[in-house]
Structure 1
Amino acid sequence: MFPRVQQPRRRVIEELLAAPAVHPRRLNMSAAERARRRLAFFRSLSREIGGVGRYVHVAGTKGKGSVCELVRAGLEGHGVVGCFTSPHLHSARERMRIGRTPISSNDLARFGGEALDRVAAVDRAGDEKGWGAVFFDRLLATALLYFAERSCDVVILEAGIGGSYDSTNFTEPEDVALSVITSISYDHTALLGSTLSEIAAHKAGIMRPGKLALTPATQAPEAMSALGKRAADVGAALEVVPSSGASTADENRALAHRATVELGVPEPDFRGARWPARFEIVELRGRRLLVDAAHNGDSISRLFRDADARFPGVRWLVIFGCGEEKEDMLGAIEANARNVSAVVTVEAAYGRDLPPSKRPARAADLAKRFNPKVIPAQPASPPSTSAALDSAAAYPNLLVCGSLYVAAEAREWAFHLDPSAFPLDDWVRLRDI
């Protein structure tokens, strides 16, 4: 038995999301060794519990979650489909879904309790097996236990950071249906490398011998070269997928369509897909709120390109906040100054208790970084997304970007203003996590 299953639901969920007792950076262990131990744990868990048919593995910098959700929607009605994505906007329940439905609070606590005990048992085993599990590992273990009990025919796995060393990269070649590597750009450079080639090499680690790997035709040449090399080295079949349109959404849809056809659904229907805070338009009593979780410079550039195509000539009040290591986005906003009336800077995840790795940049510091001759910028007071939106009554077009935390707070602000602007099953309503 797993004793944590008997604990109150709230306590189990808090343990799942807690920071590690010993941060991995403090372990006397290389990244490669830590990955080896972590992946050994997940391979062992996967073999023990069984219950899953095939895996679809998705990595990349942008569009991973969107592609996962599109593939899930395309497979609707064709078996039991589990989907594991990250991060979450409003509730950890979003991260593990069967069909359109997030895991229930009771099941999150039940399977989470078992996952906590299994991870703790490995940590207690000493240096030979432990690796310093973080909350992503605990939630992945929870999801695998949940998907196995529900006998999923297909499980779609979104990689967290990278690919080669990611916790989701535990699958054996015989278990994988195909892999998808979405658009690659600069992100997590401290972990993945400072060049697109190095970053792409990490992402390409999800490729498997003899299995199809899909990537978009818009991939940068440097990244495409690294993907091609990895495919040749492992014997994967790399296929470059063109899209019929120029937007990021077109690119993601083309990848998902090709993947779903490969999985045996020749005419997939994506109408049931919903991926909030990705070029999401919320109409609020005559005002337009565009929410996008764009969180690096390339994503910001694509966001403005797509916004200009959809709403030509519109000038936006931009509400922007980011992590300390993500300030490259400011230049991308300034490059689109003709579409920006002003910028209000906020503190990403204002008021939340975050680990040092997620520390937000101060709103006042961000405002000073903008060139006043290009774009007027000022910090919100207090530096929250809600405060910025409250003070923006004079602006009909609002664009929120820079961090998933900022996007989530904007959606919650809009929900409190007008709940009818969101569907009855929207994730913003998942209050009981």
Structure 2
Amino acid sequence: MPKTTFDAPYLNMLDQVNHTRHLAPLQARINHLRGIVQTLWPKGHPTKFVHVAGTNGKGSVSKFLEAGFGLFGHAGAVTGPHLFDYRERISINGKAVTKAELVSAWEDVVWPLLVDQTEEQQKKLGYPEINLLLALVIFDRRAVQWAALETGCGGRYDCRMALDVEACVLTNVGDDHRKTLGEEVWQRAIEKAGIARKGVPFLTTVAEGEALTAVEQTVKHQKGEMHLVGQTKLKAFDAELAAAVPNLMEDSLLHAKHQRENAALALATVTRLKPQVDRAKMVQRIATMGYGGRFHKMADGLYVDVAHNPNKIEALANEIQQRLGDKPIVLVLGLSGSRTGADVFKPLLPLSKGVVATSPTYKGVPASLLAASLQPPVAETVLTEDNPSHAVLRARDMAQQLGGVVVVTGSMYMIDQALNPDPYVRYMNTHYGWRFPEKGDSTPFAHLPASFAQL
């Protein structure tokens, strides 16, 4: 028998051959969007972009890149999904764009474009393409010089592949989205590394195993420039952080080890593209910035984290132990889709004194089923509450009796319903899709796998 060798380009080809009916339309959408961008900006879009992919951390890396590039002028980021308000998806200089800017970009450019395409029965643009086009219009109007673009799900067939970029960044390859991207880690690595472009630097902290092999082969095949940000650089960042910021603020993102790794990757990327960057100033900027939903303290005794897969939950469990110590923890948990509580939340349960299981309206796992799936191991007290906002109130009552704190995590849809401060936006979010006449066409992602709705 001949020796078996791993060949990422060949395996990707086999995937495309086997699934042409599904994958070819995704590539066609990218080509179509590229044509629209070229029509709107015939001389090329004036902003320089960095494309960021990965299972976890890509939103944080995008925000850290925005902070770093902000040392050289106006910088932006496109991230998603949003926590409370659509405006969060597009930021410039660390602040969400205004409602007026979005309305103007929509009414002046994007909405007329969509209407014209519908009349001409051309290929329709979906939610991810619309988000990106709105950002491109606003970035142009605000003279944004650099912007980070967070991938939705995967990478190779992500709509941001329609743009030319200055660098590609891959944070990691985790366990999420197996049904969409593949059961094997090397499948998911090939998909995510597919953002590589010819002659463009590709930076990653993927460190070992089949994932690294798949990434290296994919980047080489697509003629990208591979740069591994390894343990030496990660340790060096800790030293730079200690020198630049001797005393971190209580709510700094950089208390968490995974966020320091994200920051080191962002710093390496900015340094690669702008060697003259003042690294100490960039580190200081990152150390003092906030990012909603990343172990965010919303009120005294109330923390929110958007962890929704096993890798993120494990990182959250480590951060809770580091940041909250021996304080009694009460969890508010909610899930959407087909995940089970035992699979996702297991690392958190031993840390908690109580759990309130709840459920978002959109694709929510019923609270009773979630609570049942937590056995074992489970906290001392488990309650069920279908209404997410009521669930938070019950958890706060429990935490007050224990002298502890509440951590709300899991589904972003649940967190939005529970804590969104704007009742009108919350209503729009909760009732998304009410205009779609048929259940089978209730989202703009009917032609895509379910996880693409998170883009």
Instruction: Give the TM-score, by structure 1 length.
Output: 0.78
**1:119-165 deviation digits (Å, cap 9, x = unpaired):** 34334444xx51x4322221211111222233321121111111111
Distance 2:37 2:334 in 1: 39
Whether 1:32 aligns to 2:36 is: no
Distance 1:376 1:229 in 2: 48
What stretches of structure 2 of length at least 5 have no aligned partner?
Answer: 1-19, 239-255, 430-455
For 2:394, the equivalent position in structure 1 comes to 391
For 2:373, the equivalent position in structure 1 comes to 369
Q: Check 1:206–1:372 CA distance in 2 against 1; reply closer, same or farther (3 A cut).
A: closer
Question: Conserved in 2, the CA contact under 8 Å of 1:347 and 1:360?
Answer: yes
Q: CA deviation at 1:51?
A: 3.8
Q: CA deviation at 1:310?
A: 2.4
Q: Aligned letter for 2:258? A: T
Q: Check 1:156–1:372 CA distance in 2 against 1; reply closer, same or farther (3 A cut).
A: closer
Q: Check 1:334–1:163 CA distance in 2 against 1; reply closer, same or farther (3 A cut).
A: closer
Distance 1:79 1:116 in 2: 30
**1:311-364 deviation digits (Å, cap 9, x = unpaired):** 33344111100112222x52353344431212211112x4xxx4xxxx111111
Q: CA deviation at 1:238?
A: 1.9
Q: Aligned residue pairs: how many?
A: 371
Paired residues for 1:136-285 under 5 Å: 136-172=128-164, 176-217=165-206, 219=207, 221-241=209-229, 242=231, 243-244=234-235, 247-264=257-274, 265-267=277-279, 268=282, 269-271=285-287, 273-284=289-300
**1:3-27 deviation digits (Å, cap 9, x = unpaired):** xxxxxxxxxxxxxxxxxxxxxxxxx
For 1:308, the equivalent position in structure 2 comes to 321
Whether 1:100 aligns to 2:89 is: no
Question: Conserved in 1, the CA contact under 8 Å of 2:76 and 2:94?
Answer: no
Question: Conserved in 2, the CA contact under 8 Å of 1:164 and 1:205?
Answer: yes
Q: CA deviation at 1:181?
A: 0.7
Q: Check 1:234–1:376 CA distance in 2 against 1; reply closer, same or farther (3 A cut).
A: same
Q: Check 1:73–1:377 CA distance in 2 against 1; reply closer, same or farther (3 A cut).
A: same
Q: Select which of 110, 114, 128 maps to 1:115.
A: 110
Query: SS state of the match for residue 168, structure 1?
Result: helix
Question: Conserved in 1, the CA contact under 8 Å of 2:330 and 2:398?
Answer: no
Distance 2:208 2:307 in 1: 19
Moved more, 360-369 or 133-142: 133-142
Whether 1:83 aligns to 2:99 is: no
Distance 1:124 1:150 in 2: 31
Q: Aligned letter for 2:323? A: R
**1:188-226 deviation digits (Å, cap 9, x = unpaired):** 222211121111111111111222111115x56232221
Distance 1:189 1:372 in 2: 24
Question: Conserved in 1, the CA contact under 8 Å of 2:169 and 2:203?
Answer: yes
Query: SS state of the match for residue 342, structure 1?
Result: strand
Distance 2:66 2:22 in 1: 32
Question: Conserved in 2, the CA contact under 8 Å of 1:400 and 1:406?
Answer: no
Whether 1:47 aligns to 2:38 is: yes
Q: Check 1:106–1:190 CA distance in 2 against 1; reply closer, same or farther (3 A cut).
A: same
Q: Aligned letter for 1:297? A: P
Query: SS state of the match for residue 30, structure 1?
Result: helix
Distance 2:111 2:66 in 1: 27
Whether 1:331 aligns to 2:343 is: yes
Q: Check 1:152–1:47 CA distance in 2 against 1; reply closer, same or farther (3 A cut).
A: farther
Query: SS state of the match for residue 187, structure 1?
Result: coil
Distance 1:390 1:77 in 2: 42
Instruction: Give the TM-score, by structure 2 length.
Output: 0.75
Distance 1:54 1:77 in 2: 15
Q: Aligned letter for 2:168? A: S
Q: Check 1:162–1:136 CA distance in 2 against 1; reply closer, same or farther (3 A cut).
A: same
Q: Aligned letter for 1:262? A: R
Query: SS state of the match for residue 164, structure 1?
Result: coil
For 2:306, the equivalent position in structure 1 comes to 293
Q: Check 1:331–1:200 CA distance in 2 against 1; reply closer, same or farther (3 A cut).
A: same
Q: CA deviation at 1:404?
A: 1.6
Question: Conserved in 1, the CA contact under 8 Å of 2:50 and 2:148?
Answer: yes
Q: CA deviation at 1:376?
A: 4.6
Q: CA deviation at 1:42?
A: 2.2
Q: Aligned letter for 1:187? A: D
Question: Conserved in 1, the CA contact under 8 Å of 2:66 and 2:146?
Answer: no
Query: SS state of the match for residue 313, structure 1?
Result: coil
Question: Conserved in 1, the CA contact under 8 Å of 2:154 and 2:192?
Answer: yes
For 1:26, the equivalent position in structure 2 comes to none
Question: Conserved in 2, the CA contact under 8 Å of 1:160 and 1:168?
Answer: no
Distance 2:74 2:88 in 1: 17
Q: Check 1:93–1:373 CA distance in 2 against 1; reply closer, same or farther (3 A cut).
A: closer
Q: Select which of 391, 407, 416 maps to 1:408.
A: 416
Distance 1:59 1:331 in 2: 24
Question: Conserved in 2, the CA contact under 8 Å of 1:181 and 1:214?
Answer: yes
Q: Aligned letter for 1:305? A: N
For 2:354, the equivalent position in structure 1 comes to 342
Query: SS state of the match for residue 169, structure 1?
Result: helix
What stretches of structure 1 of length at least 5 have no aligned partner?
Answer: 1-28, 417-426
Q: Give RMSD over aligned pairs.
A: 2.7
Q: CA deviation at 1:30?
A: 2.7
